[in-house]
Amino acid sequence: MSSPRQLVPGQQPSVQASLDRIDPCTVGTWRALYRQIGEPWHWHDRDAWDQGAMAAHLARPEIRIYRVKAELGPEWTDAAGFLELERHEDGSVEIAYIGLDQRVLGRRLGGWLVTQAVHTAFAWDAVRVWLHTCTLDAPAALPNYLARGFLITRAETYHTTGSSN
């Protein structure tokens, strides 16, 4: 998206939720969210990053990390979702990671979270907001991105192998 006017906002979630920046974000916090949110979707590309590399990445001013807090019945969870934005030299902001915990699926948080991510990226003076997804993502992810106004510019397929137990 090259303009916030291209965004088609998602519905309001069926639970109270907020998107809060984690500043500073520790390696431990980042890894916990990454594992919790990404494990079901085979997010493993950063598993090999050592503590130093991860800390250096998180300390970059071009990286911003957010968590979704959501009301689940009488209690709140501060780990309902995860967002990582990365500003690039061309002024674009990439939605590098975005996802929800399995416990909150079905509460209309997906469209809301993508809407919040786009608003947050443009508020950071993005000239363009973009993301990538793949066939390993949640089945609702691509339809959600398209419904919010994103366009497909390239298609790739990744395959994983199951573990043998």
**Does the pTM of the predicted model rise above 0.85?**
yes
Which is it for strands 128-131 and 17-21: parallel, antiparallel or unpaired? unpaired
Q: What is the residue-wise DSSP string for 127-141? A: SEEEE---TTS-TTH
* Range of lowest pLDDT (48-57, 88-97, 126-135): 126-135
User: Is it the case that residue 135 has pLDDT exceeding 70?
Assistant: yes
Confidence of residue 8 (pLDDT cuts 50, 70, 90): very high
Terminal alpha carbon distance of the chain: 44
Mean pLDDT of 47-74: 94
pLDDT in tens, 65-105: 999 999 887 777 778 999 999 999 999 999 999 999 988 88
Query: Per-residue confidence at 160, pLDDT binned at 50, 70, 90?
Result: low
What residues does each domain of the chain span?
Answer: 4-148
- CATH fold for domain 4-148: Aminopeptidase (3.40.630)
